[in-house]
Amino acid sequence: MTPPFSTADALVRVILSWGTLISNPSSSLPDMDLVIAGPVDQNSINLYGTGIINFENKDQHSKNQALPYAKLVTDSAQGYGPEVVDFYGSGGLTFGFSQSYAAGAAANAYEIWVDRPNSSPNQDSILTFLYDTNVFLIVYQNDGTSGGNKQVLMDAITRVPYAYGFYNNDQWNNIPEDATLWHIIDFSQATGGIVFNGFPGENSTTDVNTAGSKYGYDAQFFEATKSIPCGHVAARGASPAYCPATLSYPQSKK
C-alpha cells in the first residue's frame, strides 16, 4: 500500500520490498537498491552523465529539471525496505519520452532493476545473495482523477490472473545464484495508463525485440564498481546512448 498521491507528487510510483531470506526466514539481506535506467537527451548527459537513478545520485535528480524525470524518494538500508522511486513528467500525464531518440525507439522506456549493492552494510553479510531474497515489486499509477492513484494490475499484460506485482521465483523470474543485478520489467506511460514494454531478454541489449539483459553478473565480491548491462544503446534507438553504465559504491550509504 501507498498513501494517496496527486499528479503534483508523481505520475507513477514503484515500490520495492525484500523481506527475509528464502533459505533463512529469520534473517534478511541488509540492503537492496532500486536502479532505474531511463531515457535521456544531451541535457541529461551534461547534468548527470547517464540516465541511471539510484542511491548514488538520489540528491541530484528533481521532478522536472531534466530527463529521466524520476527520483529515488525513499532509500531503505534496514533489511526489508521499502525503496520507492517516483516518476514525473514535463507536463500533463505523459513521461518517458526523449525527443533525441529515434522515433518509436525501444529505448524510450524505463528499465526497472534491483541491485545487491556493494556498499556497507552488505559487506557485513557477504554470504547472502540476490537469488536468496523474497524480493517483491509493485507499481502504482496516477490517472489524473481525484484520488486516482491505484496499484497497476498486470493481468492484461501478463495474461495471469491477479498479477499484482513481480517477485523472485514467480513464473517470469528465477534469479541465478551468481546474479548481482535483476532487471524486472520495462514500462513507459501514455495518457491515462501504463504501457508495458516487456520482460527483459536473457542476454541481449542490442535486439530491439527484447528489453535488454535480464540479469547482471558483475562484482560478485563487493568491488567498488559494477557494470549494469542496461538497454539504452544505439541499436535500440538511443541517442545519446549510455549503456552499459557503471554503478559506484561508497563505503557507507548516503
Q: What is the pLDDT of residues 124-147, one digit of tens each?
A: 566 778 899 888 898 888 766 655
> Mean pLDDT across the stretch 44-48?
92
Asked, for residue 202, whether it belongs to a domain, the answer is yes
In-domain check, residue 125: yes
The total of structural domains in the chain comes to 1
**225 pLDDT above the threshold of 70:** yes
Cis check: omega of the bond before 68, within 30 degrees of 0: yes
pTM of the model: 0.89
Residue 3 lies in a domain: no
CB-based contact 2:146 (threshold 8 Å):
no
C-beta separation of 85 from 53 below 8 A:
yes
The mean per-residue pLDDT over the stretch 193-212 comes to 66
Neighbours of 169 (CB within 10 A): 13
Q: What is the mean pLDDT of the chain?
A: 80
Angle at 23 between CA 25 and CA 249, to 5 degrees: 90
Distance from C-alpha of 180 to C-alpha of 124, rounded to nearest angstrom: 16
- What is the tens place of the pLDDT at every residue in 80-110? 778 999 988 765 556 667 889 987 788 888 9
Instruction: Outline where DSSP puts E strands in 43-155.
Output: 52-53, 70-74, 83-87, 110-115, 136-142, 149-151
Predicted local confidence at residue 245, as pLDDT: 95
Residue 65 domain-assigned? yes
Q: Domain range spanning residue 20?
A: 12-248
What is the residue type of 97?
F
Tell me, yes or no, whether 1 lies in a domain.
Answer: no
Does 254 reside within a domain?
no
N residues, the chain: 254
Which has more pLDDT, 11 or 156? 11
Q: Quick check: is 5 in a domain?
A: no
List the one residue out of 185, 173, 190, 188 whose CA is nearest residue 212.
Answer: 185
